[in-house]
Amino acid sequence: MSSPSAPSSAWAAVDERRLWARHEKMARIGATPGGGVNRQALSPEDAAARQLMVRWAQDLDLTTATDPIGNLYVRLPGTEAGLAPVLTGSHLDSQPTGGRFDGTYGVLAGLEALQAIRQSGVQPRRPIDLVAWTNEEGSRFLPGCMGSGVFSGLMSIEELRPATDWNGTTVESALATLHAATPDVPTYAAPPPHAYLEAHIEQGPLLETADTTIGVVTGIQGARRYAVEVTGEEAHAGTTPLKNRRDALRTAITMVAELNREMEAGGEAVRFTVGRFDVEPGSPNTVPGRVQFSIDFRHPDLTAMKQLGGRIEPICQANAGSCSVYVQLIDDMPPTAFAPAVVDLVDRQTAALGYSKMRLPSGAGHDAMYLARVCPTGMIFVPCEKGISHNEAENAKPDDLAAGARVLTACLVELTDA
Ligand code: GLV
Ligand code: MN
Ligand code: MN
């Protein structure tokens, strides 16, 4: 229970300007000329973002911890030692041309909540651990959500260590560099979480279009990620007749065209993206011998996801021609339904604070989909400008960010007393 003398309105201590100022400061780390950030997972910029978090935590007299996969934890202690903590957070890594709010907002809203709770005099029964999860984005190293995946026991760090980025750097070596950047941070130790609540910008247009401040998130659609490798044969562009070629690029383009055709026929709910395409040797006058491309496939319905997803490898094989193709399924996350009790809590606290709200599922993936496998989990969305995300132009309003942080704070206080 909160101490009798403490006001129960920790949310009232959320400071919009302080929260915005931290966003501005964080956005300087990895800032891009286009106004976004390039702070890819386990990069020097990612390490600098964590160092800043550690400094902010120290300024607030909060303790920090880390773990082998590099998650960074900031703890607000509870009054009853040893109780399972309530977790909140998101990620500080970004897309290569990412925005200033994707992930960062959930981490900074969490820090704002911890500060507001402390400032208000409310004494939580359970500890509240704010977490910056490692490599949520999955753009430099696949799969994404490595930090929350390992934390939840659904991924094995031993299997992730040899994974390489597009330049051949391994997760293992990048993690060693990351840990070296915060050498005095001890290892995290806590019982499994009591609950997890993540704040995030919506990354879509629904809230803004409906002029609504808070999204009460009901779940997350399913997602699969594949790496496809097409192998042909390098040949001279001037001498090799077209019919004699084993052109890996021409083959890969045919595969992608066929996949797009099938996915478009699959209905409005399908999301299908080839976002990375690497051609080797990448010379204008050599027939490409090898192409690697990525596939990101999502659907809210498990049956449809299995049916359409099951078409991906056969389509690649059927269009391989004289080349060979290797289709690797890297990540397969079924749709996630959040815990009704947490969804209801967010709904109720949003109403109590007087914000407009709507229930909606998440089209984007989040660390919450892994946490949902180990504890009652939910998410809070706030609007972002024109729904633009994974784009340097991503933007959000200070008052919406503060509203989400207030709802988060009120929910965390309730969860810590349960
Ligand atoms: C997360 O960034 C996602 O790809 O949904
Ligand atoms: Mn995100
Ligand atoms: Mn993202």
pLDDT for res 2: 42
Which pLDDT band, with edges at 50, 70 and 90, does 207 fall under?
very high
Q: Specify the ligand 1 atom closest to the Cα of 103.
A: 2
Distance between Cα 67 and ligand 1 center (Å): 23
What is the C-alpha to C-alpha distance for residues 262 and 29, in angstroms, rounded to an integer? 41
The full set of domains in the chain, from first to last, is 9-221+335-416 (3.40.630.10), 222-333 (3.30.70.360)
Which one of 137, 225, 272 would you pick to mutate in the ligand 1 pocket, going by the greatest count of ligand atoms within 8 A of its CB? 137
Which pLDDT band, with edges at 50, 70 and 90, does 64 fall under?
very high
Mean pLDDT over 105-123 rounds to 98
Distance between Cα 1 and ligand 3 center (Å): 36
Which pLDDT band, with edges at 50, 70 and 90, does 208 fall under?
very high
**In the 3-class helix/strand/coil scheme, how is the chain assigned residue by residue?**
CCCCCCCCCHHHHCCHHHHHHHHHHHHCCCECCCCCECCCCCCHHHHHHHHHHHHHHHHCCCEEEECCCCCEEEEECCCCCCCCCEEEEEECCCCCCECCCCCHHHHHHHHHHHHHHHHHCCCCCCCEEEEEECCCCCCCCCCCCHHHHHHCCCCCHHHHCCCECCCCCEHHHHHHHHHHHCCCCCECCCCCCCEEEEEEECCCCHHHHCCCCEEEEEEECEEEEEEEEEECCCEECCCCCHHHCCCHHHHHHHHHHHHHHHHHCCCCCCEEECCCEEEECCCCCEECCEEEEEEEEEECCHHHHHHHHCCHHHHHHHCCCCCEEEEEEEEEECCEECCHHHHHHHHHHHHHHCCCEEEEEECCCCCHHHHCCCCCEEEEEECCHHHCCCCCCCCCCHHHHHHHHHHHHHHHHHHHHC
Which one of 390, 391, 394 would you pick to mutate in the ligand 1 pocket, going by the greatest count of ligand atoms within 8 A of its CB? 390
pLDDT for res 112: 98
Q: Specify the ligand 1 atom closest to the Cα of 296.
A: 4
Q: Specify the ligand 1 atom closest to the Cα of 363.
A: 5
Distance between Cα 366 and ligand 1 center (Å): 7
Distance between Cα 148 and ligand 2 center (Å): 12
pLDDT for res 8: 58
pLDDT for res 363: 97
Tell me the ligand closest to 133's alpha carbon. Answer: 2
| pLDDT tens figures, 353-412 | 999 999 999 999 999 999 999 999 999 999 999 999 999 999 999 999 999 999 999 999
Distance between Cα 362 and ligand 3 center (Å): 12
Distance between Cα 381 and ligand 1 center (Å): 14
Angle between helices 398-417 and 104-120 (to 10 degrees): 60
| pLDDT tens figures, 264-307 | 999 999 999 999 999 999 999 999 999 999 999 999 999 999 99
| pLDDT tens figures, 65-100 | 999 999 999 999 999 989 999 999 999 999 999 999
User: Which residue minimizes the CA distance to atom 1 of ligand 1?
Assistant: 365
pLDDT at 200 over 90: yes
With a Cβ cut-off of 6 Å, ligand 1 is lined by 137, 364-365
User: Which residue minimizes the CA distance to atom 3 of ligand 1?
Assistant: 365
Distance between Cα 346 and ligand 1 center (Å): 22
Which pLDDT band, with edges at 50, 70 and 90, does 5 fall under?
very low
Which one of 221, 331, 366 would you pick to mutate in the ligand 1 pocket, going by the greatest count of ligand atoms within 8 A of its CB? 366
What is the C-alpha to C-alpha distance for residues 287 and 280, in angstroms, rounded to an integer? 9
pLDDT for res 123: 95
User: Which residue minimizes the CA distance to atom 2 of ligand 1?
Assistant: 137
Tell me the ligand closest to 99's alpha carbon. Answer: 3
What average pLDDT does the structure give for the chain? 96
Distance between Cα 185 and ligand 3 center (Å): 26
Percent of the chain with pLDDT over 90: 97
Distance between Cα 387 and ligand 3 center (Å): 13
| pLDDT tens figures, 177-196 | 999 999 999 999 999 999 99
Distance between Cα 165 and ligand 3 center (Å): 17
Q: Specify the ligand 1 atom closest to the Cα of 95.
A: 2
Mean pLDDT over 247-269 rounds to 98
Q: Specify the ligand 1 atom closest to the Cα of 223.
A: 5
